[in-house]
Amino acid sequence: MTEQRPLLEVTDLVKHYAVRGGVLRRQVGTVHAVDGVSFALGAGETLGLVGESGCGKSTVARTVLRLVEPTSGAIKLDGEDIAPLSKTALRPYRRSMQIVFQDPFASLNPRMTAGDIVGEPLTVHGLATGAKKQERVAELFQQVGLRPDQMKNFPHQFSGGQRQRICIARALSLGPRLIVCDEPVSALDVSIQAQVINLLIDLQRKQNFSYLFIAHDLAVVAHISHRVAVMYLGRIVEIADKHELFANPRHPYAQALLASVPIADPKARRTAPLIDGDVPSPINPPSGCAFHTRCRYAIDRCKTERPALQAAGTAHQVACWLNDGTGRGE
Amino acid sequence: MSEALPAETVLDVKNLQTVFFTNSGLFRAVDDVSFTVRRGETLAIVGESGCGKSVSALSIMRLVPDPPGRIVGGSVTLEGTDLLRLNDAAMRAIRGNRISMIFQEPMTSLNPVMRIGDQIIEAVRLHQKVSSKEARKQAVDMLRLVRIPEPERRAQEYPHQLSGGMRQRAMIAMALACRPALLIADEPTTALDVTIQAQILALIVDLQQRLGTGLILITHDLGVVAQTAQRVIVMYAGKKVEEATVESLFETPLHPYTRGLMASMPAVIALGAESDARLNEIPGMVPSLTNLPPGCAFAPRCKLAIDRCRQEYPPLDEVKPNHWAACWRAGEIAEAS
């Protein structure tokens, strides 16, 4: 990553939504969905984004693809800032960035055959037609572990795991360099999840694209990612190499989040939950560090000043005032 | 694990059979399933979608939609009464009173146009002869018991004013309001974030132990099972394939399906594991219940399957003390591990 220019570089990304109310639909508040997020993603690398509902992880992913317009900030794909580009100017870049959604039932057109679904991007971008297109689609089917004779079937004839394979084939059709996976296995059964995760890993090894991988299941994220970013209320509070983050989480929120994962070992029973209460509303996020309202270590400074991400060891950044900005780590 | 004197049995399900009549034929959603739950004990039922875990729960509650479903055999004995023999009125007196159920999505199980407090009062007054003032006091006490802050004020609020975690707490308050003998929790934390899940699970276990309620916890998450249950049953395609104490199940899972499930989960926070390490996958998919193979339903996906597995369904044998598995090769697996 450090050796060359990252594939994707996001700087100070902000996305605010207006809350309107009253007869005149005046703006009565602002949802701070994403509030100053910066990260970089290298070629062939997987960055996991974790956090609880409403922390802004999906908004980050969609803003990066410009499926949602950013309020401010820069999104550099291969050094080119795509945030200010017009829709037409953006088009060539769209080929490099694809997405796989959570629900494979809702993201496939029920009236198109699987083959047409996977081939549609080729038509839209004018890359292949006729027999050449069919050939490419058949090849994509094989890559994701489907049989080419299944091309004429409709989505309802596939199981959940197979549908997710169709979604992956569609994402691959344009030879992307970045694939955003927004909870790609959350809707699947445990035994099927493993199949899809293995497929995603195999494809990345062969084709060397990057994943921005979002999931609420920390074990899945830990498995597939190289680096992981923890988000809380629209901000990244900690970002580190996977092994480093899971072995030595420094931000109190990251610590609580990791400790909340139920461990599949009855001998390792947890005692009391680490944090109480709910995530505050992103409409009026708390001042200073947004986590101070639930943090057991909060000091006065946390309530007024917002900590920035600071280096805390190699390939490890944390946004916390404790211990000179290195979190609680000893 | 050492249970010299088994505590009082609250629920005894014997040979339960629930079938559905559909256009594509009859399917056995629950096929000859038996289990018991004792006072203060947590029994987890684990399995993937369509394995029959939720239909088992609905059968105990007698809430299986009929048609297309019907309970065609077995008995469900709660505190000495066979629920399957009760008429509808008698069953209504038991539901919400002696057995309660909490569901996955609290928003769809709460009435959106009724205040939280009133919903609990309704449950209380349906089963107990108390004044409305007394019922309101009980409702507020229940909200306090489930650790909802400012219970008096929250009782006046509507479900949409509560967060997901608070709604699930309110559901638990309602379910426990009449101090049931048995609580069935069907994926109670699946819709919640992990930190909230940890809070809710801790709450359920704490209350269950304090009130001595028997708990059936239905989940697909083996982590949740390991953290909360005392005993576990694993279901596959409508049948119970394994039953054990939680320690024994996680130490030496005996059914190949259980073993496959455990191996296919990313080892939680896989320290040291390479990110490109492959997970062990279970090939194929869960079979359709209308078209089950003869013999063991898991055989087509099982690496250990032998000819006998494809012909004869294996009996549920006690392979180790207090550890049952329905697999022709469970004995060999037990010896090997």
Average pLDDT over residues A60-88: 93
User: Residue B7: what pLDDT?
Assistant: 63
- Give the residue from A50, A191, A213, A275 with the most B CB atoms within 10 Å of its CB, the best one to mutate: A191
What is the ipTM, given to two decimal places? 0.80
User: Residue A273: what pLDDT?
Assistant: 66
Interchain proximity A198–B278, CB inside 8 Å: yes
Whether A200 and chain B come into contact, CB under 8 Å, resolves to no
The answer to whether residue B66 scores a pLDDT higher than 90 is no
Lowest mean pLDDT among B50-54, B91-95, B110-114: B50-54
User: Residue B268: what pLDDT?
Assistant: 57
For residue B290, the 8-state DSSP code is G
The answer to whether residue A305 scores a pLDDT higher than 80 is yes
Residue of B nearest to A200 (CA): B276
Q: Which CATH class is domain A8-263+270-323?
A: alpha beta
The answer to whether residue B6 scores a pLDDT higher than 60 is no
Closest of A72, A48, A52, A71 to residue A61, by C-alpha: A48
Chain B residues with CB under 8 Å of A225 CB are 275
Interchain proximity A262–B197, CB inside 8 Å: yes
Closest in A190, A274, A279 to B220, CB measured? A190
Average pLDDT over residues A60-78: 93
CA distance linking residue A122 with residue A134, whole number of Å: 10
Which tokens go with B160? 């949409």
Interchain proximity B275–A223, CB inside 8 Å: yes
Give per-residue pLDDT as tens, A311-322: 888 889 999 988
Which tokens go with B239? 């049948």
Interchain proximity B268–A272, CB inside 8 Å: no
Residue A221 vs residues A119, A182, A183, A214, A224: alpha-carbon distances, Å: 30, 11, 10, 7, 5
The residue to which tokens 């944090």 are assigned: A275
Task: Give the total residue count for chain A.
Answer: 330
Interchain proximity A261–B279, CB inside 8 Å: no
The answer to whether residue A270 scores a pLDDT higher than 80 is no
Chain B residues with CB under 8 Å of A260 CB are 194-195, 197-198
pLDDT band at A324 (very low <50, low <70, confident <90, very high): low
User: Residue B269: what pLDDT?
Assistant: 54
The mean pLDDT value of chain B amounts to: 88
pLDDT band at B272 (very low <50, low <70, confident <90, very high): very low
The mean pLDDT value of chain A amounts to: 89
Mapping DSSP to helix (H, G, I), strand (E, B) and coil, where does residue B258 land?
Answer: helix
Kindly report the nearest CA distance between residue A225 and chain B, in angstroms. Answer: 6
CA distance linking residue B30 with residue B26, whole number of Å: 12
Give per-residue pLDDT as tens, B275-321: 456 788 888 877 777 778 889 999 999 999 999 999 999 999 999 99
User: Residue A186: what pLDDT?
Assistant: 86
Peptide bond into B68 cis (omega under 30): yes
For residue B96, the 8-state DSSP code is T
Give per-residue pLDDT as tens, A213-237: 998 888 889 889 999 999 999 999 9
Residue of B nearest to A47 (CA): B275
CA distance linking residue A217 with residue A188, whole number of Å: 12
Decide: B286 and B302 in contact? Cβ < 8 Å: no
pLDDT band at B5 (very low <50, low <70, confident <90, very high): very low
